[in-house]
Structure 1
Amino acid sequence: MPASETPRRKLLKNTISRCPACHQPAPAGVWKERQADGSDRIVLSRTCPEHGKSSAVISSDARFYWLAQGSDDNRCGAGCACSADPSGLTGTLGKNAFAGKDATIEQLSTCLALIEIVDSCNLACPTCFADSPVGTHAKLKYHRLPELKKRISGVLERKQHIEILQLSGGEPTLHPDFFELLDWIHEQPGIDYALINTNGVRLSKDDEFLQQLGKRVARGHLQLYLQFDGPQEAGQRDLRGADLRKMKQLAMQRCQSIGLPVTLAMTVNEHNLPNLWETIEWGISHDNCRGVSFQPMFLSGRSTASTPGHRLNTADIILGAVGQSNKRLSFDDFTPLPCGDPNCATIGYLLKTPLGIRSISDFINFSEVQGFLKDKVHYRIEDLAQCGCDNTDLGDILKQYELRERDTFRLFIKPFMDAWTWDEDRIDRCCTHVIRPDGKLDSFCRYYSGFPDCAPDKPVATSTLPS
């Protein structure tokens, strides 16, 4: 047995990570480690020539880690920020507004495309991944409508289709042309769904804004992504700098009054980890709530630290939610999504029945429809030409549940990466993209990483409202 491997430690793969000190690329290994209690965890260890070795746990329970390795064939395609082509745009389909040349249809999936329409925010959360400056009214910095349309149109030209377009920021509801942009998005046949990522402040206070939003709800294809850190007191001030629970409750009630579907976006740290099931129950108690997106806190923007501490990961969320549910939720209710790296997104469902909330595993065995993940460590470009959720039995099942949105409650776990948890293999197959100011697509984790070699072009052309 090689000296590097012992019965308690096994190398699963080699990858490229980042040094937490200097953020430069560093060779790394992913290891399975046996614990004293007999359980296994997954550890990412790297060595920086200047700053030495550092490690972080990327899965507290090896049962919830899937071995997936990168390949040169899986790098981002045309129009992506990390494309090998200097222009990022090659091929023979259509005229590209940015590069001034023909552009090909991009092959890799974009399940969600995020665009920052406002740089400023009306809150100053200590954990803001975008590090948005506080600014409203005359100090508001926003992107002009023609420029936003141009960027979105460029992606549609290259990809032909955007499944979900997320309006983000800063606080997107502050944009002076918000409804004109939303109306334009709904007119685009290539965009399936608009998702508004908001802290809820304006929704809770502005009657005219609520009324205008209500007029658009009847069209469908619209949902709110409401920042929500749980109904408990613990962790509220650590995450947002204030206890905003009453405001969130009011925003939720006002969304319900206009029939606007809402997904709760919960940043999870050690303070609110014990309240996962309580958050699920709170969401289920609201008819317009479609689910909870759990996002373990990562180090980006204002969230910085020199040491990782106890980093939460997908396994922590699954173990916590199942353990708190009093057997109303099980491990079998969750499955990784195949459209990106299987460690990038995990989804589960609860079913609303006349007899109450039921576990989805009472009706379907996810393990029987995720054969594409078994022993699959090398992905081919053909696997990624379409989203895996579009061409698998699992995809068909998930679509059926999404169409029955009043009968289902979605549980989504999205662990974003920072320097401590960086695995370049995951970037190869990212399907959550940001539409950058230059019009290119970039992995969410790359865009917000703060790494010098991954920074988008700055300064960004912004406008300010007249005083």
Structure 2
Amino acid sequence: MANRTKVEGVELGRTYSVCPVCLERLEARKIAYGESICLEKECSEHGPFKTLIWDGPPAYADWARECAPARPDACASPVDRGCPFDCGLCADHLQKSCCTLIEVTQRCDLGCPFCFASAGEDPKDDPSLGTVRGWLQTLLDSGGPYNLPISGGEPTVRDDLCSIISMAGEMGFVFTQLNTNGLRIAREDGYAKKLRQAGLDCVYLQFDAVRDEPYEVLRGRPLWREKQEAVLRCAEAGLGVVLVPTVVPGVNDGEVGGLLRYAFDHLPAVRGVHFQPVSYFGRYPGMPDAPRHMTLPALLRAIESQTDGELRAEHFHPSGAQNAYCGFNASFLLLESGEIRPMGAGGGCDCSAEAARKVRGYVARRWSPPKAVADCQCACGGVDTGALDAFLRRVQTHSLAVSCMMFQDAWNLETDRLRQCRLHVVAPDGRLVPFCAYNLTATNGRTLYRPQEGRGDD
């Protein structure tokens, strides 16, 4: 009988996390077992927890980037209990906002088994237009305008959604994004055009697969036909579309390549694919003792293997202006020949205030509908620039942004990462709360910040 040698882990560092059962703050250790990294912590009441957070290649250390602080100009909460309990933002938060999300309803017309917001569970009245205007003014007063995702619940259940979009534009928000399941866009003639006329730039479309079966598991019913129709309607209206798959191991992690092929086939309407490996927030089926998370390296490997190497792991780099372990991005150009080429190269992480401004601009450019290439205004001396103009037009219309956001839940939360978050949610009282803290959910459904019974006006 062969001897089995126990693999001893090597401690890489320490941080703070929470107990998934009671959400108490715990010290946590990052332990390396070869190329696999686990977050290990122990609650005095609920015992030990061990969660896989990395399984390279690439190596965990090689992915790291320094991220210098660019603290918020003003803080709304004092530091008392420590991260993640003092959000507002507090004086210990290290980064300014880049993208600020407002939730305009807790109602939903779908009721997905997987839902960050537990939408549709005893929702209260929608916030009034006056309340929404107050949130937007708070964002302007805190350093905005920022990129503005309008979310919920399902925002399209509000018949005054176009008024909200128009109001944001009138107040100075230059990029508005609608987070939606796309059902109303698909079924209602002219609705996408109304959204565009109101000033909407981008539809951030829930889009988990290119066949019905994964939707039946993740969303409770087949939706493939409706998703395709929503993309078509957005294309007709001149709206940029970003496909947003929630990737769940064993459900749709084999759909990665098909989703990317669909995106390339539907340029220029589709502007990007933004993968979101599942995080156990809000509502999800069952309550596993050790939920399965798809790691960042596993997603990179899936992209490479399922595209037959056309998109390779080495093409991707950490997202700028945030913690390196929060995600990745890359842009690709589809040539007329059908060849796919990576655009640009990965650089270092710049977390300065100027970097945040550049990231806001990058997202707005990449996710908005393409604009026509302007006539040349350079002093080219009459040189024939036809080939260059054709290339620039191709870049405008046939480039695809591929990115990922690795959200943190109660099992894999690291407060070091959370303190560097630039994606914030406007709480009902107007405070800004990092997205992962806002959605943090205990095994019994208790949250720290998200209202438990829907959101209404005070």
> If the length of structure 1 is used for normalisation, what is the TM-score?
0.80
Residue matched to 2:433: 442
Residue matched to 1:336: 318
Q: Does 1:44 align with 2:39?
A: yes
Residue matched to 1:225: 204
CA-to-partner distance for each residue in 1:54-112, whole Å, 9 max, x for gaps? 101111215264457999x787663456766989589xxxxxxxxxxxxx9x9832221
Match of 1:142 among 126, 147, 155: 126
Residue matched to 1:241: 220
Given that residues 318 and 324 in structure 2 are in contact (C-alpha distance below 8 angstroms), is that contact kept between their aligned partners in structure 1? yes
Given that residues 131 and 301 in structure 1 are in contact (C-alpha distance below 8 angstroms), is that contact kept between their aligned partners in structure 2? yes
CA 1:169–1:461 in structure 2 vs 1: closer, same or farther (change >3 Å)? closer
SS in 1 for 2:299: helix
Given that residues 235 and 272 in structure 1 are in contact (C-alpha distance below 8 angstroms), is that contact kept between their aligned partners in structure 2? yes
Q: Does 1:210 align with 2:192?
A: yes
Q: Could you tell me how far apart the structure 2 residues matched to 1:107 and 1:422 are? A: 17
CA-to-partner distance for each residue in 1:331-382, whole Å, 9 max, x for gaps? 121111131111112111221222224231xx6442xx32x48xxxxxxxxx
Given that residues 204 and 243 in structure 2 are in contact (C-alpha distance below 8 angstroms), is that contact kept between their aligned partners in structure 1? yes
Unaligned runs of 5+ in 1: 1-5, 35-39, 91-103, 374-382
Q: Could you tell me how far apart the structure 1 residues matched to 2:124 and 2:87 are? A: 32
Residue matched to 1:21: 21
Report how far residue 439 of structure 1 moved. 0.6
Q: Could you tell me how far apart the structure 2 residues matched to 1:140 and 1:87 are? A: 24
Q: Could you tell me how far apart the structure 2 residues matched to 1:22 and 1:69 are? A: 32
Given that residues 283 and 289 in structure 1 are in contact (C-alpha distance below 8 angstroms), is that contact kept between their aligned partners in structure 2? yes
Match of 2:104 among 96, 117, 132: 117
SS in 2 for 1:279: helix
Q: Could you tell me how far apart the structure 2 residues matched to 1:257 and 1:408 are? A: 19
Given that residues 75 and 83 in structure 1 are in contact (C-alpha distance below 8 angstroms), is that contact kept between their aligned partners in structure 2? no
* Aligned 1:17-166 pairs, distance under 5 A: 17-34=17-34, 40-61=35-56, 63=58, 65=60, 66-67=63-64, 78-79=74-75, 108-133=95-120, 141-162=125-146, 164-166=147-149
CA 1:400–1:337 in structure 2 vs 1: closer, same or farther (change >3 Å)? same
Report how far residue 237 of structure 1 moved. 1.2
Report how far residue 150 of structure 1 moved. 0.5
Q: Could you tell me how far apart the structure 1 residues matched to 2:194 and 2:363 are? A: 32
Report how far residue 294 of structure 1 moved. 0.6
Q: Could you tell me how far apart the structure 1 residues matched to 2:437 and 2:23 are? A: 12
Q: Could you tell me how far apart the structure 1 residues matched to 2:16 and 2:194 are? A: 48
CA 1:142–1:388 in structure 2 vs 1: closer, same or farther (change >3 Å)? closer
Which deviates the most, 451-460 or 291-300? Answer: 451-460
Counting aligned pairs with the same residue, the percent is 25
Q: What amino acid does structure 1 have at the position aligned with 2:25?
A: P
Match of 1:168 among 145, 148, 151: 151
CA-to-partner distance for each residue in 1:360-409, whole Å, 9 max, x for gaps? 1xx6442xx32x48xxxxxxxxx444435739xxx999898777542310
Report how far residue 236 of structure 1 moved. 1.7
Report how far residue 19 of structure 1 moved. 1.5
Given that residues 247 and 278 in structure 2 are in contact (C-alpha distance below 8 angstroms), is that contact kept between their aligned partners in structure 1? yes
Q: Could you tell me how far apart the structure 2 residues matched to 1:69 and 1:31 are? A: 20
Unaligned runs of 5+ in 2: 1-5, 371-394
Q: What amino acid does structure 1 have at the position aligned with 2:168?
A: I
SS in 1 for 2:280: coil
Residue matched to 2:355: 387
CA 1:388–1:84 in structure 2 vs 1: closer, same or farther (change >3 Å)? farther
Given that residues 33 and 41 in structure 1 are in contact (C-alpha distance below 8 angstroms), is that contact kept between their aligned partners in structure 2? yes
Match of 1:306 among 283, 288, 296: 288
SS in 1 for 2:165: helix
* Aligned 1:244-259 pairs, distance under 5 A: 244-259=223-238
Given that residues 279 and 408 in structure 2 are in contact (C-alpha distance below 8 angstroms), is that contact kept between their aligned partners in structure 1? yes
Q: Could you tell me how far apart the structure 2 residues matched to 1:223 and 1:398 are? A: 10
Q: Could you tell me how far apart the structure 2 residues matched to 1:82 and 1:456 are? A: 19
CA 1:171–1:457 in structure 2 vs 1: closer, same or farther (change >3 Å)? closer
CA-to-partner distance for each residue in 1:173-212, whole Å, 9 max, x for gaps? 11132111111111233x2210000001111111242342
Report how far residue 285 of structure 1 moved. 1.2
Residue matched to 1:37: none
Aligned residues: 413
Given that residues 427 and 449 in structure 2 are in contact (C-alpha distance below 8 angstroms), is that contact kept between their aligned partners in structure 1? no
Q: Does 1:407 align with 2:389?
A: no
Q: Does 1:291 align with 2:272?
A: yes
- Cα RMSD over matched residues? 3.2
Report how far residue 306 of structure 1 moved. 3.4
